[in-house]
A = this chain, B = another copy of it.
Amino acid sequence: MSLNAYFKKTKGRDAVIKILQSEDAPVDAAHIYEHLVKKHVSINQATLYRILDFFTDQGMIDRFEFQEGKQRFEIVRGDHHHLICEMCGCIEDIEDCNIKDLEKDITKKKKFLVKRHSLEFYGVCQSCQR
Protein backbone atom coordinates (compact mmCIF):
# COMPACT_ATOMS: atom_id res chain seq x y z
CA MET A 1 0.00 0.00 0.00
CA SER A 2 1.54 3.29 -1.01
CA LEU A 3 1.31 6.41 1.07
CA ASN A 4 -1.37 8.14 -0.95
CA ALA A 5 -3.91 5.49 -0.06
CA TYR A 6 -3.93 4.00 -3.50
CA PHE A 7 -5.73 0.71 -3.73
CA LYS A 8 -6.97 -1.82 -6.19
CA LYS A 9 -10.46 -1.65 -7.53
CA THR A 10 -12.43 -4.84 -7.36
CA LYS A 11 -16.06 -5.63 -7.97
CA GLY A 12 -16.52 -6.35 -4.27
CA ARG A 13 -15.08 -3.06 -3.10
CA ASP A 14 -16.98 -1.10 -5.69
CA ALA A 15 -20.25 -2.69 -4.77
CA VAL A 16 -19.75 -2.32 -1.01
CA ILE A 17 -18.92 1.37 -1.28
CA LYS A 18 -21.92 1.98 -3.52
CA ILE A 19 -24.22 0.26 -1.08
CA LEU A 20 -22.87 2.27 1.82
CA GLN A 21 -23.24 5.47 -0.16
CA SER A 22 -26.89 4.72 -0.71
CA GLU A 23 -27.59 4.32 3.00
CA ASP A 24 -28.34 7.19 5.33
CA ALA A 25 -27.67 5.39 8.58
CA PRO A 26 -25.19 2.77 9.77
CA VAL A 27 -25.88 -0.76 8.54
CA ASP A 28 -24.53 -4.13 9.61
CA ALA A 29 -22.56 -6.65 7.58
CA ALA A 30 -25.59 -8.88 7.02
CA HIS A 31 -27.50 -5.96 5.54
CA ILE A 32 -24.67 -5.19 3.16
CA TYR A 33 -24.40 -8.84 2.27
CA GLU A 34 -28.08 -9.04 1.35
CA HIS A 35 -27.72 -6.05 -0.92
CA LEU A 36 -24.73 -7.65 -2.59
CA VAL A 37 -26.79 -10.75 -3.27
CA LYS A 38 -29.60 -8.64 -4.71
CA LYS A 39 -27.07 -6.94 -6.97
CA HIS A 40 -25.76 -10.36 -8.00
CA VAL A 41 -22.33 -9.47 -6.70
CA SER A 42 -21.17 -12.72 -5.18
CA ILE A 43 -18.46 -12.23 -2.64
CA ASN A 44 -17.59 -14.35 0.33
CA GLN A 45 -18.57 -13.28 3.82
CA ALA A 46 -14.95 -13.27 4.94
CA THR A 47 -14.12 -11.04 2.02
CA LEU A 48 -16.88 -8.67 2.97
CA TYR A 49 -15.42 -8.27 6.44
CA ARG A 50 -11.99 -7.76 4.95
CA ILE A 51 -13.34 -5.09 2.64
CA LEU A 52 -15.03 -3.37 5.57
CA ASP A 53 -11.81 -3.50 7.58
CA PHE A 54 -9.93 -2.12 4.66
CA PHE A 55 -12.18 0.88 4.10
CA THR A 56 -12.27 1.54 7.82
CA ASP A 57 -8.46 1.61 7.89
CA GLN A 58 -8.52 3.90 4.86
CA GLY A 59 -10.76 6.25 6.80
CA MET A 60 -13.50 5.97 4.22
CA ILE A 61 -16.06 4.36 6.47
CA ASP A 62 -16.86 4.53 10.17
CA ARG A 63 -17.48 1.54 12.38
CA PHE A 64 -20.03 1.70 15.20
CA GLU A 65 -21.41 -0.58 17.87
CA PHE A 66 -24.82 0.16 19.32
CA GLN A 67 -25.15 -2.38 22.07
CA GLU A 68 -26.45 -4.98 19.69
CA GLY A 69 -23.47 -7.31 19.75
CA LYS A 70 -22.52 -6.47 16.20
CA GLN A 71 -20.83 -3.80 14.16
CA ARG A 72 -22.41 -1.24 11.93
CA PHE A 73 -20.78 0.68 9.11
CA GLU A 74 -21.40 4.02 7.53
CA ILE A 75 -19.71 6.15 4.89
CA VAL A 76 -17.72 8.83 6.68
CA ARG A 77 -19.77 11.95 7.09
CA GLY A 78 -19.09 15.08 9.09
CA ASP A 79 -19.60 15.19 12.81
CA HIS A 80 -22.96 13.59 13.48
CA HIS A 81 -24.67 11.28 15.90
CA HIS A 82 -27.36 8.65 16.07
CA LEU A 83 -30.85 8.16 17.32
CA ILE A 84 -31.52 4.52 18.11
CA CYS A 85 -35.08 3.38 18.70
CA GLU A 86 -35.34 0.78 21.43
CA MET A 87 -38.70 -0.41 20.15
CA CYS A 88 -38.06 -1.10 16.47
CA GLY A 89 -34.29 -0.80 16.37
CA CYS A 90 -34.30 1.79 13.63
CA ILE A 91 -31.34 4.12 13.51
CA GLU A 92 -31.35 7.69 12.32
CA ASP A 93 -28.53 10.13 11.75
CA ILE A 94 -28.61 13.49 13.43
CA GLU A 95 -26.38 16.41 12.54
CA ASP A 96 -24.92 19.44 14.19
CA CYS A 97 -24.27 18.61 17.77
CA ASN A 98 -21.75 20.84 19.33
CA ILE A 99 -19.52 18.53 21.28
CA LYS A 100 -16.28 20.17 20.24
CA ASP A 101 -16.30 22.50 23.22
CA LEU A 102 -16.69 19.55 25.52
CA GLU A 103 -13.71 17.88 23.89
CA LYS A 104 -11.55 20.90 24.54
CA ASP A 105 -12.62 20.93 28.17
CA ILE A 106 -11.71 17.30 28.55
CA THR A 107 -8.30 17.72 27.01
CA LYS A 108 -7.65 20.59 29.37
CA LYS A 109 -9.04 19.09 32.55
CA LYS A 110 -8.21 15.45 32.13
CA LYS A 111 -5.10 15.59 29.94
CA PHE A 112 -6.88 13.09 27.75
CA LEU A 113 -6.26 13.72 24.07
CA VAL A 114 -9.65 13.34 22.43
CA LYS A 115 -9.43 12.02 18.87
CA ARG A 116 -13.07 11.33 18.22
CA HIS A 117 -16.28 10.74 20.06
CA SER A 118 -19.35 8.65 19.78
CA LEU A 119 -22.70 9.96 20.90
CA GLU A 120 -25.87 7.96 20.67
CA PHE A 121 -29.33 8.71 21.93
CA TYR A 122 -31.52 5.74 22.79
CA GLY A 123 -35.25 6.14 23.02
CA VAL A 124 -38.43 5.80 21.01
CA CYS A 125 -38.72 6.95 17.42
CA GLN A 126 -41.68 8.91 16.15
CA SER A 127 -43.58 6.03 14.62
CA CYS A 128 -43.13 3.79 17.66
CA GLN A 129 -44.67 6.48 19.86
CA ARG A 130 -48.05 6.05 18.24
Report which A residues bind B (CB closer than 8 A).
63-69, 71, 83, 85-86, 92, 94, 97, 99, 102-103, 106, 110-126, 129
Enumerate the 4 nearest inter-chain pairs by beta-carbon distance, A residue then B residue, closest first: A115-B123, A111-B126, A114-B123, A113-B124
Q: Chain A's interface: helix, strand, loop or mixed, by majority? A: strand
Question: Smallest CB-CB separation from A119: which chain B residue?
Answer: B119
A129 touches B113 (CB 8 A): yes
List, in ascending order, chain B residues with CB within 8 A of A65's CB. 65-69
List, in ascending order, chain B residues with CB within 8 A of A126's CB. 110-112
List, in ascending order, chain B residues with CB within 8 A of A111's CB. 126, 129
B86 touches A112 (CB 8 A): no
